Amino acid sequence: MLLKITSALLTIASLSLPVSTAPVKFDEGLSLVILHNNDMHGRFEETARNSGTCQPKKKNLCVGGFARTAEVIRNFRQAADAGTSPPVLYLNAGDTFTGTSWFSVFTWNISSAFVNALKPDVVALGNHEFDLTPQNLAKFVNAVNAPFVAANLDMTNETVLSKVQKSVVLQIQGYQVGVVGYLTPETVKISLVGNVKFQDEVEAIRKEAQKLTDEGVDIIIALGHSGYEMDKRIAKEVAEVDIVVGGHTNTFLWNGEQPDAEAIEGPYPKIMTQASGKKVPVVQAYAYTKYLGVLNVTFDTTGKLVELSGQPLFLDSSVNQQPDVLELLEVYRPAIDELNNEKVGVSKVTLDGSSSVCRQQECNLGNLAADIHVSYVASVSTDRWTNAPIGIYNGGGIRNTIIPDENSNEVTRGDLLGSFPFGNQVIVITLNGSDLLYALEQMVRSQGETSGGEFPQVSGLRLVLDMSEPPYSRVKEVRVRCGLCDIPSYDLLDVKKNYTLVTSSFLSEGGDGITTFKEKAMNKKVQDLGDLDMIVWYFNNYSPLYPEIQDRIVFVNKGSKSAGVKSKDSFTTVIIGLIISQLLWRLGT
């Protein structure tokens, strides 16, 4: 029987189910409604459409939140219990942690409480689940009433995470459904993994899937957090896998007209074809609780996928919110209200911290953060103005857009904590010009293929990028603001000169894979204020603010997601590129 793709959809307002209303005939195969989300990032409460704070006067425009997510999941489960819908399988593809003041204050405790309110059947680990070390992740895992899966993680030397399994097998209407987990090895570079070791996702999933198949498991779902490209690769290369449910890249898959601001990256589901001709659907559901994925599947008696349909649900204000989940918010709200009542200053403009912007191009909140670092160091310097005229922040360190109060334009500590939740120290370092150029190449290496969190937000630099070029040859020009000069101005970067800059402790320790900051930096000096307190200091002293886009980062060719083939990250290639670039720049002066 050929795989049949139907067009059944779900009407949000009525929550009508995109499945047959007749009782399922289980002896003819297994039908399932697979609900899934990923990258919820602490959006326990409903948000504005840009995933920032929901303003009270605009609540009718607010979206998402766990209470709406619970409403939809419970409606589907009630229909299944009544026999008017197939069984429901609800899967969480990781990154519940990090992104709002709610999480920053209550961490794993609030996360486990709200995940338990949704009652997932299986949970995958996301990279941000490791932000608080394996010891605190273990508290979350132990508190959640659901199994966690990650086949490519070796926890032998991190026994506190022994509860995390490679896979779980669920018994559904007489069929064995296996769920195999995976997590990007990039987690080692961007989080605190302790003694956890990572293996290649494809090989680890293949090994576990083959084991499950040998044990008689009928259907295998890969559930994980490695990004859309890896999701598609798993679907194409692991013969035993029937469905892939992913996360990490906040990929928005949709059929039909775009429902809101999110750009559609492909159909829902994306169908991958294996060498055997087998069709495997791949799904993600964007992020921030704004959507809930709904995938309807039917397998025949041999475990072959024969029919599917689906569409993410846009959880807008027409979707009700479950009262008990709203009540759970009130348990934690007093501490959040205290943060939100602490006014730190005024912004006359929206401070754009959206991942779709700050991880791919200049954003005004990134400009502000980098400027603040430079400004603070200059304020405590005894030099003429500063010896550290450059600021570099990573776009992934900015977690939220800040919309000032619509009446007063005030910004609160809670707003800032939601945008800068990591508690980084601020570090002054010195780099040779060739190393600075290479660090910038590292920071734009993934652009064109993924939306990497390493993309730079800068102060005191003017960059010209060509994203159609292969990685490590994309930085075409760098102009650098002078330090210890009478009148600050910009000159072409000199690969032989040393430059002092301000950055975060995360980057200075090689975070996001920017190894140059860790391996080549000289004269590291930790500042007395962390990044959040430094930003609060600036708001206190320099409001009102109105940071703008200033063409600090200019693209001569933005390329495409398939642009270029990664060049070898070799010393020779880098040095040749540096020399040629310097010669060209000097000829141009």
CATH code assigned at 571: 3.90.780.10
- pLDDT bucket at 27, cuts 50 / 70 / 90: low
The predicted model gives 78-84 an average pLDDT of: 97
User: In this structure, is residue 423 part of a structural domain?
Assistant: yes
Cα distance between residue 268 and residue 256, in whole Å: 10
User: Are residues 319 and 389 part of one domain?
Assistant: no
Q: Is the same domain home to 130 and 173?
A: yes
| Residues 311 and 441 occupy one common structural domain | no
Whether 354 and 288 share a structural domain? no
Pair 303, 431 in one domain: no
Q: Please state, in angstroms and as integers, the Cα–Cα distance from residue 135 to each residue in 42, 67, 130, 371, following that order.
A: 19, 29, 9, 35
Tell me the helix, strand and coil percentages in the chain, rounded to 5.
30, 25, 45
Domain contains 116: yes
- Token output for 194: 């302790």
* Low-confidence winner among 210-224, 394-408, 457-471 (lowest mean pLDDT): 394-408
Domains held by the chain: number:
2
Per the listing, tokens 């926890």 go with 155
Is the per-residue pLDDT at 381 higher than 60? Answer: yes
> CB of 553 within 8 A of CB of 456?
yes
User: What pLDDT, on the 0 to 100 scale, is given for residue 451?
Assistant: 53
Does residue 19 fall inside a structural domain? no
Give the end of a domain, one of 292, 326, 360.
326
Degrees to nearest 5, angle at CA 450 with 445 and 451: 90
Helix axes 228-237, 201-214, angle to 10 degrees: 40
In a domain, 245, yes or no: yes
Choice between 382 and 228, residue whose per-residue pLDDT is larger = 228
φ, ψ for residue 502 (rounded to 5)? Answer: -115, 135
Q: In angstroms, rounded to a whole number, what is the distance separating the alpha carbons of residues 334 and 320? A: 24
Contact predicate 335/31, CB 8 Å? no
Can you tell me the distance from the alpha carbon of 241 to that of 256, in angstroms, rounded to the nearest whole number?
A: 27
26 part of a folded domain = no
pLDDT digits (tens, 9 = 90+) for 524-556: 999 999 999 999 999 999 999 999 999 999 999
- DSSP lists the bridge partners of residue 427 as 503, 526
Supply the Cα-derived Rg of the chain in whole angstroms: 25
pLDDT attached to residue 57: 84
Q: How many CB atoms lie within 10 A of CB 560?
A: 11
In the predicted structure, residue 458 carries a pLDDT above the cut 70: yes
Residue 279 has pLDDT above 90, yes or no: yes
Q: Is the pLDDT of residue 561 over 60?
A: no
Q: In what order do the strands lie in the sheet with 219-225?
A: 167-172, 175-183, 219-225, 243-245, 279-283, 270-273
Is residue 150, in this structure, part of any structural domain at all?
A: yes
Q: Does residue 443 contact residue 394 with C-beta atoms inside 8 Å? A: yes
Which CA distances in Å does 68 have to 212, 233, 322? 35, 32, 6
* Region 392-412 average pLDDT: 94
- Do 368 and 319 lie in one domain? The reply is no
Top pLDDT among 153 and 558 is at 153
Phi and psi at residue 342, in whole multiples of 5°? -90, 100
Quick one: average pLDDT of 259-266? 96
User: Cα–Cα distances in Å, from 296 out to 64, 136, 217, 262?
Assistant: 22, 36, 20, 23
What was the pLDDT predicted at 110?
99
160 and 73 within one domain:
yes
Q: Do residues 402 and 304 share a domain?
A: no
Q: Which pair of tokens denotes residue 151?
A: 């086949």
Q: Is residue 221 part of a domain?
A: yes
- pLDDT score recorded for residue 382: 82
- The DSSP-derived string for 377-396 is HHHT--SSS-S--EEEEEGG
Cis peptide upstream of residue 547 (ω within 30 degrees of 0): no
Range of the domain at 397: 348-587
Name residues whose C-beta falls within 8 Å of residue 66's C-beta, 6 or more positions apart in sequence: 40, 43, 44, 45, 114, 117, 118, 289, 325
**Rounded CA separation 271/244 (Å):** 10
Amino acid at 427: I
Q: Which two tokens stand for residue 239?
A: 């013969």
- Could you tell me which residues come within 8 angstroms of residue 337 by beta carbon, excluding any fewer than 6 positions away? none
* Residue 504, domain member (yes or no): yes
Instruction: Give the model's pLDDT for residue 12.
Output: 34
Closest by CA to 503, choosing from 392, 367, 423, is 392
- Indicate if 104 and 55 belong to the same structural domain: yes
Is 325 within 8 Å of 117 (Cβ atoms)?
Answer: yes
Question: Distance between CA 449 and CA 445 in Å, rounded?
Answer: 9
Domain with residue 41: its CATH number is 3.60.21.10
Residue 404: closest CA among 364, 376, 355? 364
Report pLDDT for 447.
Answer: 62
Residue type, 418: G
* Residue 288 region by backbone torsions, left for phi larger than 0, else alpha for psi between -120 and 50, else beta: left
Q: Apex CA 187: angle with CA 181 and CA 190, to 5°?
A: 155
End of a domain among 268, 295, 326?
A: 326
Q: Give yes or no: residues 352 and 308 share one domain.
A: no
Residues with Cβ < 8 Å from 563, sequence gap 6 or more? 448, 449, 467, 468, 469
| Orientation of helix 433-443 relative to helix 571-587, angle to 10° | 110
